[in-house]
Amino acid sequence: MNIIVVGCGRVGSELAYALYQSGHKVTVVDINPDAFANLPSDFRGRTVAGDVLTPDVLQRAGIEQADALAAVTPDDAVNAVVAHTSRTAYDVPTIVVRDYDPRKRGLHEAFGLQVVSPSAWGAQRIEELLSEGALRTVFSSGNGEVELYEVAIPAAWNGMRLGDLIDSPECRAVSLTRAGRASLPSADDVVQTDDVVLVSATRKGIQMLQKRLEQAKER
């Protein structure tokens, strides 16, 4: 694939090098030529110095032949404009933007862009790691809006119906593992101590389940 990475800071340089190592044709754009020093010495992609908001810079970067573009500068407005222009003026098939300031995430969403918000996701993940007990996060979708969690069934829940334990539209059971064997669960399944239930949940849903688990420990 022909991929353009706009921004050669810590995120951009890491991304560009990873894409290059995966065999893609990578072009990195940055307004500051000194930023290219962030790239590893064995990077063999192209570099283009210039203001990406100037049309000729995108054209020099090969925007008309690009299969994908990542806008990862620390300026959310620049990322949004570049991504929107790449999609509407050049019809780039795949575009991803970095959300630098979580408070400006709505800017990218207003353009209907695919967004990665490292600050918001990172803060949420660290909070989860600090507070995880019977819950363990195994997969995060999007920027953490929906995640998969492993839930170890406590002794206080032994013999209870799964549907009575997980009954919120914000939290759904997707698998039940017992003695190493997994199955698709139903609300009528009766759980046993040390069963492992995989649940898909929003932030609100997992907080509700976490509260129930804490209450179960107090019994």
The per-residue pLDDT for 137 is 80
Q: Domain end: 92, 118, 144, which one?
A: 118
Does the predicted model carry a pTM greater than 0.75? no
Query: How many domains is the chain built from?
Result: 2
Please indicate, yes or no, whether residues 139 and 114 belong to a single structural domain of this protein: no
The per-residue pLDDT for 128 is 61
Please indicate, yes or no, whether residues 16 and 49 belong to a single structural domain of this protein: yes
32 within 8 A of 9, measured Cβ to Cβ: no
Nearest to 50 by CA among 65, 40, 60: 60
Q: Domain end: 70, 91, 118, which one?
A: 118
The per-residue pLDDT for 151 is 87
The per-residue pLDDT for 35 is 96
pLDDT block averages, 10 residues each, the chain of length 219: 96 95 96 96 96 92 95 92 92 91 74 78 69 70 82 88 88 90 92 90 87 74
- Please give the Cα distance from 36 to 89 (Å, whole number): 27
DSSP string, 45-58: SEEEES-TTSHHHH
Q: Domain end: 118, 140, 165, which one?
A: 118
The per-residue pLDDT for 55 is 80
Domain span holding position 161: 130-217
Please indicate, yes or no, whether residues 19 and 96 belong to a single structural domain of this protein: yes
Beta strands in the chain (DSSP E): 2-6, 25-30, 46-49, 68-71, 94-98, 114-116, 135-141, 146-152, 171-178, 181-183, 196-202
